[in-house]
Amino acid sequence: MSSNNTRKYTELNPRKELKDFVASYWESTNDTDHIQEVTICPDGYVKLIFQLQEGRLVRYIMTGLWTKEVEIKIPSGITSYGIRLKVIAPEYILKQDAISSFNSVVPLNFDFLDIKNMNFTSFEGVVEQLETTFLKRLASHKEIRGNRLRLSQLLYNTFGDILASEVANQIYWSQREINRYLNRYLGISLKKYLNIQKCYRAYLEIREGDFFPEKGFFDQAHFIREVKKHTGHTPTTLHQGLNDQFIQLKNIKKL
């Protein structure tokens, strides 16, 4: 857990059976008496986020992939729960695409995934209930296609440090078909998705003050240009602003 005078943050990993579909779960609480301003940078995940105030559900949204930074304001007394979903989760867990939430936010009905009937006594309990629901939805599929699983596994093992053509070669699925799949469910091509992942991986180096990445970029100028395109900030500015506003940089784990 990380915390200070403004925010408490906790993150949990999914169980083994869900690792190809879910990246992580998180809980964040604004215990202050003022609105918090948070900057979210592109990370390559579709997210489900629901918020409680005094134990009551007040908001439930889906955010798709972001290709730019977004500013979020969190009211006082709000506890937020989030699920980071990998690229094949829209098809197999959500059973719908996330195109409408690309660079945007879509409100969800509290009935979706039966969120309204959850017990919010503890974060661990929330995750357990979510995972029970996810596993039931996965069980309804007669088969999870191998090319989808290979795509998820390769993308999150390399985090952008691979060419689109190499992805196709390694998972035995044509680049055209991969692009068609990602555009259908996420609204983005494989190449653009890999660029988002590459910048997300760079956050770890930026946090440590390393502005000379060894992988994924031609040179430092290319590194600076790509990071600024996706976050609106140079690596140096992000590092200098490493505070509670940039929650991803503070809490990113080694990939």
Task: Print the domain residue range for 224.
Answer: 146-243
35 & 123 share domain: yes
Q: What is the pLDDT along the chain (255 residues), one digit of tens a residue?
A: 444 445 688 999 999 999 999 999 999 998 888 998 877 778 899 999 999 999 999 999 999 998 888 888 889 999 999 999 999 999 999 999 999 999 999 999 999 999 999 999 999 999 999 999 999 999 988 889 999 999 999 999 988 788 999 999 999 999 999 999 999 999 999 999 998 888 787 777 777 777 766 666 666 777 777 777 767 777 777 766 654 555 555 555 555
| Assigned token pair, 202 | 């760079």
Number of domains in the chain: 2
In a domain, 254, yes or no: no
CB contact at 8 A, 22 and 14: yes
Q: Residue 40: beta bridge partners?
A: 70
CA distance 114 to 107: 15
Residues 126 and 27 in one domain: yes
CATH number at residue 112: 2.60.40
The verdict on residue 159 lying in a domain is yes
Q: Does residue 186 share a domain with residue 65? A: no
Last residue of a domain, one of 139, 174, 189: 139
97 inside domain = yes
Tokens 């215990």, residue? 31
Residue 249 placed within a domain = no
Q: Per-residue b/e over 101-120, b at no fewer than 16 CB within 10 Å?
A: bbeebeebeeeebebeebeb
- Same domain? For 49 and 102 the reply is yes
Residue 252 in any domain: the answer is no
Among residues 139, 155, 178, which one ends one of the domains? 139
- Buried residues in 163-180 as b, exposed as e (16+ CB within 10 A): ebeebbeebebebeebbe
Domain limit, last residue, from 139, 154, 175 = 139
Counting Cα atoms < 13 Å in the Cβ hemisphere of 106 gives 18
Residue 84 sits in the same domain as residue 179: no
